[in-house]
Structure 1
Amino acid sequence: MIKNYEFTHRRKNLLNGEWVLVSPHRNNRPWLGATEAPTETTPDRHDPSCPLCPNNTRANGDTNPNYEYTHAFINDFGALTPTLNDDARIDPDELFEAQAATGEARVICFSPEHNKTLPELSVNEISKVVTTWQQQFIDLSSRYSCIHIFENKGEIMGCSQPHPHGQIWAHNHRSTEIQAEDEHQLAFYEEHKRGLLAVYIEKEQTEQQRIVIENEHWIVVVPYWAKWPFETLLICKDTVQTIAQLDDSQSRTLAKVLKELTIRYDNVFNCSFPYSMGWHNAPLDLKDAKHWRLHAHFYPPLLRSASVKKHMVGYEMLAESQRDLTAETAAKILRDVPSIHYKD
């Protein structure tokens, strides 16, 4: 049964407990807000000044190898370091609480080609990215329990380097999002004896309104509780808790889904679609992670065109998230665009 959500209402995010206000009627208002002109230049395959290109020298003096597919290295300006200074000390205080934080931050170059983003890579090349994610996760998991794999794409998302790349931050404290998702998935499992995302997949398959892509092992939906205009949730359909557990078939089909989803994003406004995306793996200090399901979030900011983005300000900063485009409409737009990249 198709449900009509074209009225003002709130939706609850079952993964973290937050609410989002949905106001579809606001799509009809005239737009007089800020626009940001897209920079659709075509860079060269190799940029001699880029610190991520093969054979180039980085800020710390190291030289990148002549890599063929992916290249991972310790972030020269990492937000986390494995150790603290000898004089680091935090005095207990009820009002000014703090915790020491250590960890590692790494960069993963997706391709040696400076001018190709994920949707422009082949499935085989994206498979190499997935394999590198897994290898890095396995290595870091020997020392850290909370591992975040993510990508910021585009200047509009604060990406300082145009070369296609992502990052991994690893630490032993539970990040706020992982802690919230763990609590909500565990509470659902204890009540229903089934995983939250397993049941959610079935619900989306029944309604068929928010599914964008689905194959043997993966499903992409605009989540019912989406707050960003074209936000998507990529979920493994199998009982998998971390990216390290993916087998060859799951990894290969993931590469296909990543290519198609990012192509569809680019085709919405015929531009290199910016976003922040990241994997949520089960924290590795859990005694039992059966309530978890591996998934990734895509948060793109574009709203009406390649030059109009959603700003989380005012009510969103001071009250709760708000969106104008319903999740169902956003999913239909993503489904209806071609699956062949607009540049092709």
Structure 2
Amino acid sequence: MPETFDPSTHPHRRRNALTGDWVVVSPQRTKRPWQGQTDDSAIARPPDYDPGCYLCPGNERAGGVKNPDYTSTFVFENDFAALLPDVPMPPAEVVAGSSSSLYQSGTGDGECRVICFSPKHGRTLATMDLDEIGVVVDLWKEQLAELLERFEYVQLFETRGAISGSSNPHPHGQIWSSNFLPNEIVAELEHQRAYHAEHGRHLLLDYVENELATGDRVIMSNDHWVVAVPYWAYWPYETIVLPRRRVASLLDLTVDESEALAEALKVMLSGFDRLFNTPFPYCSGWHTAPRGQAAHWQLHAHYYPPLLRSADVAKIPASYELLANLQRDLTPETAAANLRNVL
């Protein structure tokens, strides 16, 4: 008699409804011994002020500009921006004297800014007060409103922790605005539009209702927000932050929703830190509606933490994932339960 499928023990694939990508889930691999890299440096917490930090108040940045003595949040243009305004249009593709579809280029102009969340070098969103997080939420909205007047898309994001690629431990995020739609946004827009055309409803609103009904992947919820480990999660403790009503953009949030968002972020990020008793690294960002594309879009934020088994063991995409298919070991349901247990 064939064995009954058990998602907690049998390998299987899960489809990301937002992008169409598939993730291989291999829960049986959590039983294998680990001989991977460890790094105890992740445990240290920085002081409130670092005279060598180019983001602390009053200090000189790497580009030579001196920061003001700011006492709350602080925004400035990135001194080493990846996107620049008014870049000339690339020439038409020409290879060996003739055009070719194998060689294409396009405009890549934009503007990049840095947001310091707090003047205190050792503070993070997880350790800030609700009112302080609320100021950050309001600043996200202000920056978004201004930049969408000039750009097609605005990406608000935070890279936290050296293991995630952050070059500075001072609590900060970034804003990259562009006159093109990034790849992930194109994919999410296509799948949200297709879902709405087929079902007459918004993909992530249906998803929120289903997750609340099931409950095994929900980490926390309040009157306005749901935080869950996505069914299709790739990173071990990946989470998605979702509004409970139809909201296309951060600009559409009410005062109550903004306050409830600060609470949701505080609970989630504090739980991250408690999971392995360390300042939790992650890559995160808001996917808010591109300019003029609100009809089928539902606001959400992604958090991608790399930690796998402890404060010093991270998941690194390996050969099979780079060459064939994304793969994870820990099931999203187990990850959500582990996070709920530390809230």
TM category, shorter: over 0.9
Look up the match of 1:200: 207
Q: What is the rounded CA distance, in whole Å, between the counterparts of 1:215 and 1:319 in structure 2? A: 39
2:234 pairs with one of 227, 236, 245: 227
The residue type paired with residue 5 of structure 1 is P
Report matched runs for 1:60-139 at 5 Å: 60-84=63-87, 89-92=90-93, 93-139=100-146
For the pair 1:330 / 2:331, whether they are aligned, the reply is no
Residue-by-residue CA offset, 1:264-299 (whole Å, 9 max, x unaligned): 00111000110000100111132xx23211000000
Q: What is the rounded CA distance, in whole Å, between the counterparts of 1:56 and 1:140 in structure 2? A: 27
Unaligned runs of 5+ in 1: 340-344
The residue type paired with residue 225 of structure 1 is W
Residue identity over aligned pairs, in percent, reads 47
SS in 1 for 2:327: strand
For the pair 1:163 / 2:170, whether they are aligned, the reply is yes
Look up the match of 2:22: 19
Q: What is the rounded CA distance, in whole Å, between the counterparts of 1:187 and 1:271 in structure 2? A: 41
Q: What is the rounded CA distance, in whole Å, between the counterparts of 2:72 and 2:130 in structure 1? A: 12
Q: Is the 8 A contact 1:40 1:271 kept in 2?
A: yes
Q: Is the 8 A contact 1:90 1:100 kept in 2?
A: no
Residue-by-residue CA offset, 1:196-255 (whole Å, 9 max, x unaligned): 001011111111110001011110010000011000010111211111221211111101
Q: What is the rounded CA distance, in whole Å, between the counterparts of 2:212 and 2:263 in structure 1? A: 20
Q: What is the rounded CA distance, in whole Å, between the counterparts of 2:152 and 2:30 in structure 1? A: 43
TM-score, normalised by the number of residues in structure 2: 0.94
Q: Is the 8 A contact 1:19 1:320 kept in 2?
A: yes
SS in 1 for 2:126: helix
Q: What is the rounded CA distance, in whole Å, between the counterparts of 1:42 and 1:335 in structure 2? A: 24
Q: What is the rounded CA distance, in whole Å, between the counterparts of 1:221 and 1:278 in structure 2? A: 15
Q: Is the 8 A contact 2:90 2:105 kept in 1?
A: no
The residue type paired with residue 252 of structure 1 is E
Look up the match of 1:180: 187
Q: What is the rounded CA distance, in whole Å, between the counterparts of 1:143 and 1:36 in structure 2? A: 43
Q: What is the rounded CA distance, in whole Å, between the counterparts of 1:21 and 1:156 in structure 2? A: 24
Q: Is the 8 A contact 1:222 1:233 kept in 2?
A: yes
Q: What is the rounded CA distance, in whole Å, between the counterparts of 2:42 and 2:308 in structure 1? A: 17
Q: What is the rounded CA distance, in whole Å, between the counterparts of 1:250 and 1:230 in structure 2? A: 25
State the Cα RMSD in Å: 1.3
Q: What is the rounded CA distance, in whole Å, between the counterparts of 2:6 and 2:123 in structure 1? A: 40
1:44 pairs with one of 44, 47, 54: 47
Q: What is the rounded CA distance, in whole Å, between the counterparts of 1:141 and 1:131 in structure 2? A: 16
Residue-by-residue CA offset, 1:10-58 (whole Å, 9 max, x unaligned): 0000000000001111000000122222333333211122111111122
Q: What is the rounded CA distance, in whole Å, between the counterparts of 1:42 and 1:34 in structure 2? A: 21
TM-score, normalised by the number of residues in structure 1: 0.94
Report matched runs for 1:277-288 at 5 Å: 277-286=284-293
Q: Could you tell me how far 1:140 is from its partner in structure 2?
A: 0.5
Residue-by-residue CA offset, 1:150-180 (whole Å, 9 max, x unaligned): 0000000110011000000001111000000
The residue type paired with residue 298 of structure 2 is R
Q: Is the 8 A contact 2:14 2:24 kept in 1?
A: yes
Task: Give the total of aligned pairs.
Answer: 332
Q: Could you tell me how far 1:4 is from its partner in structure 2?
A: 4.9
Look up the match of 1:342: none
SS in 2 for 1:296: strand
Q: What is the rounded CA distance, in whole Å, between the counterparts of 1:237 and 1:291 in structure 2? A: 15
For the pair 1:303 / 2:305, whether they are aligned, the reply is no
Q: Could you tell me how far 1:84 is from its partner in structure 2?
A: 1.8
Look up the match of 2:275: 268
Residue-by-residue CA offset, 1:66-99 (whole Å, 9 max, x unaligned): 21211011000010011225xx632223111111
Look up the match of 1:294: 299
Look up the match of 2:96: none
Q: What is the rounded CA distance, in whole Å, between the counterparts of 1:43 and 1:37 in structure 2? A: 15
Q: What is the rounded CA distance, in whole Å, between the counterparts of 1:111 and 1:230 in structure 2? A: 26
Residue-by-residue CA offset, 1:94-151 (whole Å, 9 max, x unaligned): 1111112100000000000001111110011111111111111111011001110000
The residue type paired with residue 52 of structure 1 is L
